[in-house]
Amino acid sequence: MNDDSTRSGRAPEAVRDALRELPQLTPTRAVAARLDALLDDAATVDQQPPRARSVARYALAASVALAVWVVWPKLGSQIGPVTEPVAAIETPTEADTSGDAGPSIDALMARSAYLESVLDTVPQRGRVQRVGTASTITALEDRVALIDAQLSGSGTKVDETGRTALWRERVGLMSTLVSLHAQPATVVSL
Amino acid sequence: MSGFAGLNFDTAIVSRAQRGDRRALDLVCRQLASPVYTLCYRLCQSQATAEDLTQETFVEVLRHLPEFRGEASLATWVRTIAVSRCMMFFRSAWQRRATALDEAHEPASDATEQLGLARDLGDALGRLNESQRVVVWLYDVEGYTHREIAALTGKTESYSKSSLSRARAELRRWLDTAVAAPAHTATLDTRCIA
């Protein structure tokens, strides 16, 4: 085994070290979407019966709709940074689990991008929706668009705290959108 | 270094994941996704197959997580499952037929592999035959012993050793050729000195 080095300029250790230095590959979007679906199933099956799960999703959708309804008028008169955190939605992040003050903007942006990718992959089965669900989704998408406009700098300048709050809210909205798009399959299963 | 090395999860988080806590499951699985996918891709050299094997691995992980006793680290336990899924894939009749139909390996689409030594070595790894690739990756990167590899592959320890020797020789030969080629010379030289 060791005499291999006599046939080449590289020692076996050089090849081994080079192999070890190969970068980690980023899982594709397909992997991320499949993993997300697996995690949803694994988590909810163990924690709640199916009917409770459906009720919880409806409750979440209702709370989001209420939050949007309450926050919307404020935004109409006060275009500027949203400094208060969105209480209706909590998105699981590493920072949440470790008990830190909150995720960084980078973490929120990454989570938001990930949810975008999930949304691109998952929603096909949810094209036919109830009117109430559809209107909630529209309201959420409009709110995301408004946040994007604020984050992109149109209108009033947003400070760091405001940007963090906006990104946190965006992640929450995206997470809810993913849940809502998955909702019709749950309704059928009732 | 193996992506599984250094992945240590807090026992409280593992316990919560075992009870089905969504946040804990999310944290654990997201951190393991990249090492699992990388391992599957390095061994099978196909993006689509690596995606399937990664999914199968996590199906097994989530199914058996409540039975995890913590005798090894969680990362090691998951790696064992991933390697097992890969070995099952290699043994399947479907895989043998597919490989016979399409011998050309599929380069990684990851942006980090587009330049320099990583691309050359990734390509070289893909040109090895299946058993050589499995042996060199499991031995040199994942730290498996020849005895463990022999048990996984159903071959002898001697076969594992000779496969490793041939794989390293092939990789060195291809890398030396790559160094001689003008495209990646600078990067390769830098990385080799380092």
* Nearest CB partner across the interface for B108, out of A7, A21, A25: A25
* Nearest CB partner across the interface for B62, out of A26, A32, A38: A38
Task: Mean pLDDT check: name the lowest of A112-116, A146-150, B103-107, B135-139.
Answer: B103-107
Higher-scoring residue by pLDDT: A142, A36: A36
- What's the pLDDT score for residue B105? 52
Higher-scoring residue by pLDDT: A59, B119: B119
What 3-state DSSP class applies to B38? helix
Give the pLDDT band (50/70/90) at residue A165.
confident
The two tokens of residue A155 are 């209108």
Contacts of B122 in chain A (CB under 8 A): 22
Q: Name the amino acid, one letter, at A86.
A: V
- What's the pLDDT score for residue B169? 92
- Mind listing the pLDDT tens digit for each residue in A41-70? 777 544 544 445 555 555 555 555 555 555
- What's the pLDDT score for residue B53? 93
Q: Which residue of A has its CA nearest to B58?
A: A35
CATH, residue B174: 1.10.10.10
CATH, residue B79: 1.10.1740.10
- What's the pLDDT score for residue B112? 47
* Range of A79-83, A176-180, B156-160 with top mean pLDDT: B156-160
The two tokens of residue A91 are 């998105």
Choose the mutation target among A25, A41, A94, A100 for the interface with B, i.e. most B CBs under 10 Å.
Answer: A25
B13 lies in the same domain as B49: yes
Asked if the C-beta of A44 comes within 8 angstroms of chain B's C-beta atoms, the answer is: yes
The two tokens of residue A32 are 């991320």
Asked if the C-beta of A16 comes within 8 angstroms of chain B's C-beta atoms, the answer is: yes
Count of the separate structural domains present in chain B: 2
Contacts of A22 in chain B (CB under 8 A): 42, 113, 118, 121-122, 141
B144 lies in the same domain as B130: yes
- What's the pLDDT score for residue A43? 72
Higher-scoring residue by pLDDT: B169, A71: B169
B5 lies in the same domain as B99: yes
Q: Around Cβ A134, how many Cβ atoms within 10 Å?
A: 13
- Vertex A170 angle, CA A164 and B59, to 5°: 110
Burial class (CB in 10 A: 0-12, 13-18, 19+), B99: middle
Has residue A11 got a pLDDT over 80? no
- What's the pLDDT score for residue B30? 92
Q: Do B23 and A97 touch (CB under 8 A)?
A: yes
The two tokens of residue B193 are 């000195």
- What's the pLDDT score for residue B184? 46
* Residues 6 or more apart in contact with residue A163 via CB below 8 angstroms: A81, A105, A151
- What's the pLDDT score for residue B13? 92
Residues A139 and A66: their CA atoms lie apart, in Å, by 11
- What's the pLDDT score for residue A58? 55
Contacts of B168 in chain A (CB under 8 A): 4, 12, 15-16
Higher-scoring residue by pLDDT: B193, B142: B142
Asked if the C-beta of A92 comes within 8 angstroms of chain B's C-beta atoms, the answer is: yes
Has residue B104 got a pLDDT over 90? no
Whole-number average pLDDT of chain A: 65
Has residue B144 got a pLDDT over 90? yes
B2 lies in the same domain as B96: yes
The two tokens of residue B19 are 């009870």
Pinpoint the alpha helices (H) of A22-130: 29-47, 50-77, 94-98, 105-121
Contacts of A8 in chain B (CB under 8 A): 169, 172-173, 176
- Mind listing the pLDDT tens digit for each residue in B56-102? 999 999 999 999 998 899 999 999 999 999 999 988 765 555 554 44
- What's the pLDDT score for residue A119? 75
Contacts of B65 in chain A (CB under 8 A): 42
Q: Does this complex have an ipTM over 0.95?
A: no
The two tokens of residue B113 are 């592999």
B68 lies in the same domain as B6: yes
B28 lies in the same domain as B51: yes
B167 lies in the same domain as B183: yes
Asked if the C-beta of A19 comes within 8 angstroms of chain B's C-beta atoms, the answer is: yes
Q: Which residue of A has its CA nearest to B162?
A: A1
Domain endpoint, select from B104, B128, B151: B104
B100 lies in the same domain as B113: no
- What's the pLDDT score for residue B188? 38
Asked if the C-beta of A7 comes within 8 angstroms of chain B's C-beta atoms, the answer is: yes
Domain endpoint, select from B77, B104, B131: B104
The two tokens of residue B46 are 């196909």
Has residue A86 got a pLDDT over 50? no
Task: Report the interhelical angle of B157-180 vs B116-127 (nearest 10°).
Answer: 140
Residues B132 and B161: their CA atoms lie apart, in Å, by 10
Residues B36 and B2: their CA atoms lie apart, in Å, by 10
C-alpha closest to that of A177 among A108, A96, A86, A115? A115
B116 lies in the same domain as B62: no
Higher-scoring residue by pLDDT: A139, B14: B14
B4 lies in the same domain as B87: yes
* Structural domain for B167, as ranges: 107-194
Q: In this prediction, what percent of chain B has a pLDDT beyond 90?
A: 56
* Nearest CB partner across the interface for A43, out of B25, B173, B176: B25
B33 lies in the same domain as B118: no
B105/chain A closest Cα distance in angstroms: 16
Domain endpoint, select from B56, B77, B104: B104
- What's the pLDDT score for residue A169? 85
What 3-state DSSP class applies to A74? helix
* Nearest CB partner across the interface for A15, out of B27, B122, B172: B172
- What's the pLDDT score for residue A4? 41
- What's the pLDDT score for residue A69? 54
Has residue A186 got a pLDDT over 50? no
B89 lies in the same domain as B181: no
